[in-house]
Amino acid sequence: MGGISASFVLLIVLLLAADVLFTSPSDFIEAIRKPEIRAAFWLTILTCSVASILSVFVATPLGYLLSRYDFPGRRLVDVLVDIPIVLPPLVLGLSLLILFHLPLGSNAWKLETWLRDDVGFPVTYRWPAVVLAQFSVACAFAVRTMRVTFDQISPRAEDVARTLGCTRGQAFMLVALPQAWRGIIAAGTIAWARALGEFGPILVFAGATRMRTEVLSTTVFLELSVGQLDAAVAVSLIMVLMAIIVLVLLRSLRLGLSS
Amino acid sequence: MIELRDVSIRIGDCQLNDISLKVETGQYAVLMGRTGLGKTTLLEAICGLRRVTRGRILVQDQDVTDWAPGDRMIGYVPQDLALFPSMTVAQHLGFALRFRKRSASEISTTVHQVAAELGIAHLLSRGVRNLSGGESQRVALGRAIAFQPTLLLLDEPLSALDEQTREAMHQVLRNIKERRQVTTIHVTHNSEEAAALADSYLNLDQCVPSHVSATKPKTFG
């Protein structure tokens, strides 16, 4: 059993080692000096953070509802929430693109046109599209995490809170939510990590315009497509480092809070 | 005073049928019966956490059957206590008062009074995670009585305690009974506990599968 377990860990170590051996410090430094890659780095940090905060904000009440209540259509909602997880990434991107550009009604009303002309907030092929593409997948994982979190918290304390004068909403806010903080951190971490790795939906829905909608996953693709394998590997390692830093930071935060 | 009139409650495949009981104001009633009969379910229905399929629940002659749990003025101590892990003892004791629009000074005074009454004044600033069984029981009890409910429901509150702590808790419950005169229903399997506390006994033996529902209503109390 130990051998089987070790084989997977070994595979990950070998993959990372191969990347490290392939590149050199000079390639790495050259890559991070490129203004395009720097811009992609900061856009990645920004969009992943926004997508992860939005995911937690949506996933917490939704996970709670799915865990606690047997409302009409609950099973359907449960299935729908999982769809972004199983959907091929390109299909998700295509679906987002179609949603925003589908003409509706006799005057061919389009969501994107309305957002751009009336609200002044164009989405497609701009940074909000990156966030929305990342959010669509990241939120599904966050909902799963939050649902499991609330499944593990006994509803009895919320019941007692209701007998003491709370509404259901107050019982959620004052009793359930403070108990769920570990799950909230886990959901945020998972959502951030998922958003970091997102590529297909971003490529289709936000495009790959350098300095505008380019995030690090797109950079790897763009550098590969022009034969810059060294730069692609260097950026990949930056992404690996970012993921490790975020995971370690959040894990230590969890340990710090629990001690 | 609490009165149940022909109350029926569905519990999965079983159903409690046509339960009628009455406990007069200030009386301490002990509810007994075999495990699985539905005693906890009955308490949950009384405090509004479970819907009744038929019948009426009256507290102080007011029909509260369709009232929200928080409006019924019922203090409830479940078997697992269900303390709030993120709150201090003082926050537990003041919890119900926050929702009754009491001033901060009034809440503080009441919290200290209840804590003194239950012997937990030295614990007020502590969290509840590391309290002993007896201390946790007192906190749960204090949380349930701090807002001066008209009815107190205790679901096997002493079942997890050792003999010595249980006897100490008997005294605490007797003190509450004497000082507050709150109508109480106390579920227990322990006949010594019942003898030590009860003014009257209720015996629940009516949880039958719905397909063979009892045809003859039983009345207790």
Q: CB distance A163–B100 less than 8 Å?
A: no
**Minimum Cα–Cα distance from B148: chain A residue:** A164
Average pLDDT over residues B61-69: 93
Q: How many CB atoms lie within 10 A of CB B159?
A: 13
A248 touches chain B (CB under 8 A): no
Q: Are strands B2-11 and B14-23 parallel, antiparallel or unpaired?
A: antiparallel
Question: Does residue B1 register a pLDDT over 80?
Answer: yes
Nearest Cα neighbor of B75 from A258, A161, A112 is: A161
Could you tell me what percent of chain A has a pLDDT over 90? 71
Specify the amino acid at residue B221.
Answer: G
Q: CA of A175, closest CA in chain B: separation in Å? A: 6
ipTM score here?
0.88
Q: Kindly give, in sequence order, each residue whose CB lies less than 8 Å from that of residue B65, ignoring residues fewer than 6 positions away.
A: B52, B55, B56, B57
Please give the model's pTM, rounded to 2 decimal places: 0.85
Range with lowest mean pLDDT among A44-53, A234-243, B15-24, B38-47: B15-24
Nearest Cα neighbor of A44 from A165, A163, A220, A168 is: A220
The secondary structure of chain A, three-state, reads CHHHHHHHHHHHHHHHHHHHHHCCHHHHHHHHHCHHHHHHHHHHHHHHHHHHHHHHHHHHHHHHHHHHCCCCCHHHHHHHHHHHHHCCHHHHHHHHHHHHHCCECCCCECHHHHHHHHHCCCCCCCHHHHHHHHHHHHHHHHHHHHHHHHHCCCCHHHHHHHHCCCCHHHHHHHHHHHHCHHHHHHHHHHHHHHHHHCCHHHHHHCCCCCCCCCCHHHHHHHHHHCCCHHHHHHHHHHHHHHHHHHHHHHHHHHHHHHC
Band of residue A203 on the pLDDT scale cut at 50, 70, 90: very high
Could you tell me what percent of chain B has a pLDDT over 70? 92
Question: Does residue A38 register a pLDDT over 80?
Answer: yes
Question: Does residue B215 register a pLDDT over 70?
Answer: no
Average pLDDT over residues B30-51: 88
A167 touches chain B (CB under 8 A): yes
Q: CA of A152, closest CA in chain B: separation in Å? A: 14
Alpha-carbon separation of residue A212 from A44, A79, A200, A218, A235 (angstroms): 11, 35, 17, 11, 17
Q: CB distance B95–A161 less than 8 Å?
A: yes
Band of residue B213 on the pLDDT scale cut at 50, 70, 90: very low
Could you tell me what percent of chain A has a pLDDT over 70? 97
Question: Does residue B83 register a pLDDT over 90?
Answer: yes
Average pLDDT over residues A192-215: 92
Q: How many CB atoms lie within 10 A of CB B174?
A: 13
Question: Does residue B6 register a pLDDT over 60?
Answer: yes
Range with lowest mean pLDDT among A152-166, A215-229, B203-217: B203-217
Nearest Cα neighbor of B134 from B146, B118, B150, B149 is: B118
Q: CB distance B84–A166 less than 8 Å?
A: no
The closest CB to that of B95, out of A164, A178, A179, belongs to: A164
A143 touches chain B (CB under 8 A): no
